[in-house]
Structure 1
Amino acid sequence: MKTREDAEKLLKEYTKSDSLLKHAYAVEQAMRSYASEFGEDVEKWGITGLLHDFDYEQYPSADQHPFKGAEILKNNAYPQDVIDAVLSHADYTGVKRESLMAKTLFAVDELCGFLMACAYVRPDRKIENVKTKSVKKKLKDKSFAKGVNRDDIEKGIIELDVDKDGHIEFVIKSLSEIADKLEV
C-alpha cells in the first residue's frame, strides 16, 4: 500500500485549487474517523478519501472523472478496493458501492462539501460551531450551496445505514479536529 505522503504528492500533482485541496483533506479526515469508528484500516480509508477527486481539476467532465483518476491509481499500484471506492463515489460510473469503505466515501463526500459551506457562512467561520439543526435546515434550502447534491447526501446516509443526525454530528466533529487545516 502506498503511504499517505505518496498519496498527497499525487493529489498535489493534479490538484492546485485551494478549495479542492481542502475538500480532499476534509473527506480524508471523515474517512479516517469512520475507519477508526468501524475498526477498519485508517490509513487506507484516509488515502481513499484524500484521492477520491484528485483528477477532477484536470478531468472535470463525467466522461473523464473519476475514470482518469482510476487509471492513474492503477498505474501507480493502488489497491483495487481503493480504485473501486473512487469509481463508485460517482453513480454515473456504474460501479456499485459494495464495500463499507466505498459506502462511507459516498456518504461523507457531498456532506463534507456542504458542511464546509455551512461553516463559511457562519460569522465566526468555525466548523466546530456548525450545528446539526442548522445543517438540516440549510439542506432544505435549495438555493444554499447549489452545487451540493442533496440526493447523494440522503442516499449515502441510507446506504451506510446510519442515523442522519448522528452522521452529520460525527462528520462535524471529525472536521473540527482539523479545522486549522480547513480554514473556512
Structure 2
Amino acid sequence: MNRQEAWELLNEYVKSPNLIRHCLAVEAAVRGYARLYGEDEELWGLAGLLHDFDYEIHPTLDQHPSMGKPILEARGVPQEVIYAIQSHSDFTGVPRVHLLDKVLYASDEISGFIVAVALVKPSRSIHEVDVKSVKKKLKDKAFARNVNRDDIYRGAEELGVDLDTHIANVIEFLKPISDELTPKEQNVSR
C-alpha cells in the first residue's frame, strides 16, 4: 500500500474534517520520528495516517481499532503497520514492542494537543507554539479535556525521550503542515 491508497482508504471511512486533520498530524509526527531514527518514512507514515481510520465506524473502546484490523488486512496494509495501529490503544491488549509501535502511541495524543494549543494562539499556527506553552496547557485540566495526559506522559516515557524533547520534536514535525492542521476560518472557544 502506498500513501495515496492509504489516503483514499482514510477518506472512505472518515468524514469528519477534524479527524482527518488529526490523522494528518499524527502522520507528520510519525514521519518525523522515522527521519530522526533512520527508519522507512513512507511505511511509518501509513501507520500515522491510518491509525484512526475506523474510529467513526467503531467509536467504542471495545471496537476501535481491533474491528478495523480485518479491513486493513483486506486492503493489503503491511503487517507491521497493522500491528502498530492495534498497539496504539491500551484497550486492545496488544503490547508495544517495536519502535514504530512506541512512536505511534507517543505521537497520537501529543499531536492533537499541540494542534489544540495552536488553535488558541492569535495566528492559529503551530509556528507560534513552543514547549513552554504546551506544558502550561497540559497543567490546565479544562483545556482540551478529552486529551489523555497520562497517555502523553507514558508515550514519551515508553519512547525513552524526555517530555520536553518529545514536545519540541512533534512541534517541529507539525510545522511544515501547520496550515493543513489549523484552518483559519474555524472558531475555537478559548
TM bin, normalised by shorter chain, reads over 0.9
Structure 2 gaps of 5+ residues are 184-190
Superposed CA RMSD in Å reads 0.8
Instruction: Quote the Cα distance in structure 2 between the aligned partners of 1:137 and 1:180.
Output: 23
Structure 2 partner of 1:181 = 180
Q: CA deviation at 1:119?
A: 0.5
Q: How does 1:3-18 map to 2 (within 5 A)?
A: 3-18=2-17
Deviation at 1:178, TM superposition (A): 0.7
Identify the residue that residue 162 of structure 1 maps to in structure 2.
Answer: 161
Deviations, residues 92-124 of structure 1 (Å, cap 9, x unaligned): 100000000000000010000100110011111
Name the SS of the counterpart of 1:47 in structure 2.
helix
Match of 2:34 in 1: 35
2:58 corresponds in structure 1 to: 59
1:11 and 1:99 mapped to 2: Cα distance? 24
- Counterpart of 2:81 in structure 1 is 82
Cα deviation, residue 63, structure 1: 1.6
For 1:66, the aligned partner's letter is P
1:96 aligns with 2:91: no
Q: Aligned residue for 1:151? A: 150
Aligned to 2:140: 141
Q: After TM superposition, what 4+ stretches of structure 1 lie above 3 angstroms from structure 2? A: none
Q: Who is 1:47 aligned against?
A: 46
Partner of 2:187: none
Query: C-alpha separation between the residues in 2 aligned to 1:161 and 1:7?
Result: 29
Gaps of 5+ in 1: none
CA distance in 1, matches of 2:101, 2:70: 18
Which residue number in structure 1 is paired with residue 130 of structure 2? 131
Distance 1:161 1:170 in 2: 13
Counterpart residue number, 2:71 = 72
Distance 1:154 1:116 in 2: 17
How far did residue 91 of structure 1 move? 0.2
Identity, % of aligned pairs?
54
Cα separation, 2, equivalents of 1:71 and 1:139: 36
Q: Distance in 1 between matches of 2:108 and 2:8?
A: 21
- Count of residues in Structure 1 that have an aligned counterpart in Structure 2: 183
* Conserved? CA contact 2:62–2:91, under 8 Å: no
Contact kept in structure 1, 2:107 and 2:170, CA below 8 Å? yes
Deviations 1:20-67 (A, max 9, x none): 000000000111110011000100100110000000012101121101
